[in-house]
Chains A and B, each alone.
Chain A
Amino acid sequence: MDLSRRLFIRNGVATVSLGIAAPSFLTAIAEAQGIRTRNLVVVYLGGGNDALNTLISYRDAAYYSRRPSIAVPAGQVLQVGSDAAGQPLGLHPRLGGLLNIFNEGRLALVQRAGYANSSRSHFEAGDIWGTANPQSSTGSGWLGRYLDALPRPLDALAAWNTTAETPRALISGTSGVPAIPNAGTYTYASPNRGAAALQERTAAQTMASNPASGRPHLAFVNSTARGAIETLDRVALATSYTPTVAYPDGGFADALQTVAGAIVRGIGSRVFWLQTGGYDTHAGQGGGGGGAYANLMGALGDGLWAFYSDVRNQGLAGDTTVIVFSEFGRRISENGSAGTDHGAGGLMMVLGGSVRGGLHGTAASLAPGHPTLENNSGDVRYETDFRSVYARLLEQWLGVSSVPILGGDFRAGAPAIF
Chain B
Amino acid sequence: MATVNPEIDHLLRRAGFGVSALDVDIYRDMSHTRAVDYLVDYDGRPDDVDERLGRPDHALIATRDLFAPDIDIEDARQRWIFRMIHSRRPLQEKMAMFWHNHFATAYSKLAVDSGERQAAKMLAHKPGALRGPQGQIELFRQYALGNFRDLLIQVAQDPAMLIWLDGKSNTKARPQENFGREIIELFTIGVGNYVESDVYAAARVFTGWNLRGSADYRQDEYGDLNAYQEFVYHADQHDTGDKTFSFPINTSGSRTIASRSESAGMYDGIELITALAIHPETGRRLARKFWNFFISEIHAPDPAFVESVTAVYLQSRTEIRPVIRHILTSPWFTNPAMQFARYSWPAEYVVRSIREVGWQNFSVDRARSPMAAMGQQLFEPPNVGGWPLGAAWFSTGTMLARTNFAATLATSQKAFLAATVAPLAQSPQALLDALLVRVTTAPLDSAPRQALMSYLAAAGSWTGSDEQLNTRAAGLARLLVGSAEYQLV
| Residues of chain A having any CB pair with chain B under 8 Å | 11-13, 46-47, 120-124, 161, 164-166, 176-182, 185-192, 195-196, 199-200, 202-204, 206-210, 212, 215-218, 220-222, 224-225, 227-228, 231-232, 277, 280, 282-283, 292, 334-337, 339, 341-342, 375
Interface centre among A191, A283, A341 (most CB of B within 10 A): A191
Residue pair B400, A204 in contact (C-beta under 8 Å): no
Residue pair A196, B475 in contact (C-beta under 8 Å): yes
A204 to B171, CA, bound (A): 58
| Residues of chain B having any CB pair with chain A under 8 Å | 112, 165-166, 169-171, 173-178, 181, 185, 191, 196, 199, 297-298, 341, 343, 373-375, 382-385, 388, 391-392, 394-401, 403-404, 407-408, 410-411, 414, 442, 445, 447-448, 450-452, 454-455, 458-459, 471-472, 474-475, 477-479, 482-485, 487-488
A217 to B484, CA, bound (A): 9
Beyond A165-B382, A207-B451, A210-B445, whether A341 also contacts B395 by CB under 8 A is: no
14 new A-B contacts, CB < 8 A, other than A199-B455, A336-B170, A337-B176, are: A120-B196, A123-B385, A165-B392, A177-B395, A181-B373, A182-B373, A186-B397, A187-B404, A192-B471, A217-B341, A228-B399, A228-B400, A228-B403, A342-B181
Beyond A165-B375, A339-B166, whether A121 also contacts B475 by CB under 8 A is: no
Closest Cβ–Cβ distance, residue A220 to chain B (whole Å): 6
A180 to B399, CA, bound (A): 10
Residue pair B395, A195 in contact (C-beta under 8 Å): no
* Residues of A close to B404: CB separation below 8 A: 13, 185, 187-189
Residue pair B397, A182 in contact (C-beta under 8 Å): yes
Closest Cβ–Cβ distance, residue A245 to chain B (whole Å): 26
* Residues of B close to A222: CB separation below 8 A: 484
* Residues of A close to B458: CB separation below 8 A: 195-196, 199
Residue pair B298, A336 in contact (C-beta under 8 Å): no
* Residues of A close to B400: CB separation below 8 A: 186, 188, 225, 228, 232
Residue pair A122, B398 in contact (C-beta under 8 Å): no
CB-nearest residue of chain B to A333: B174
* Residues of A close to B175: CB separation below 8 A: 335-336
* Residues of B close to A166: CB separation below 8 A: 392, 395
* Residues of A close to B171: CB separation below 8 A: 336
Q: Give the residue of B174, B396, B447, B474 whose beta carbon is less than 8 angstroms from that of A228.
A: B396
Q: Give the residue of A185, A204, A221, A283 whose beta carbon is less than 8 angstroms from that of B401.
A: A185
Closest Cβ–Cβ distance, residue B111 to chain A (whole Å): 13
Residue pair A200, B475 in contact (C-beta under 8 Å): yes
Residue pair B484, A191 in contact (C-beta under 8 Å): no
Residue pair A122, B174 in contact (C-beta under 8 Å): no
A104 to B67, CA, bound (A): 55
Residue pair A224, B395 in contact (C-beta under 8 Å): yes
A290 to B330, CA, bound (A): 57
Interface centre among A12, A13, A120, A334 (most CB of B within 10 A): A13
* Residues of A close to B471: CB separation below 8 A: 192, 196
A161 to B398, CA, bound (A): 12
A161 to B397, CA, bound (A): 9
Q: Give the residue of B341, B394, B396, B447 whose beta carbon is less than 8 angstroms from that of A210.
A: B447
CB-nearest residue of chain A to B474: A191
Residue pair B394, A203 in contact (C-beta under 8 Å): no
Q: Which 9 A-B pairs have the closest CB atoms?
A: A336-B174, A179-B395, A337-B169, A178-B396, A189-B407, A221-B484, A206-B451, A191-B411, A203-B455
* Residues of B close to A202: CB separation below 8 A: 455
CB-nearest residue of chain A to B409: A191
* Residues of A close to B185: CB separation below 8 A: 121
CB-nearest residue of chain A to B411: A191
CB-nearest residue of chain A to B375: A164
A200 to B476, CA, bound (A): 8
Q: Give the residue of A11, A204, A337, A375 whose beta carbon is less than 8 angstroms from that of B166.
A: A337
A179 to B173, CA, bound (A): 45
* Residues of A close to B169: CB separation below 8 A: 283, 335-337
**Can you show 23 pairs from A to B with CB atoms below 8 A apart?**
A46-B383, A122-B384, A164-B375, A179-B397, A187-B404, A192-B474, A195-B458, A199-B455, A200-B479, A204-B403, A206-B454, A207-B448, A207-B451, A217-B341, A220-B394, A221-B394, A224-B394, A224-B484, A334-B174, A335-B169, A336-B169, A336-B175, A341-B176
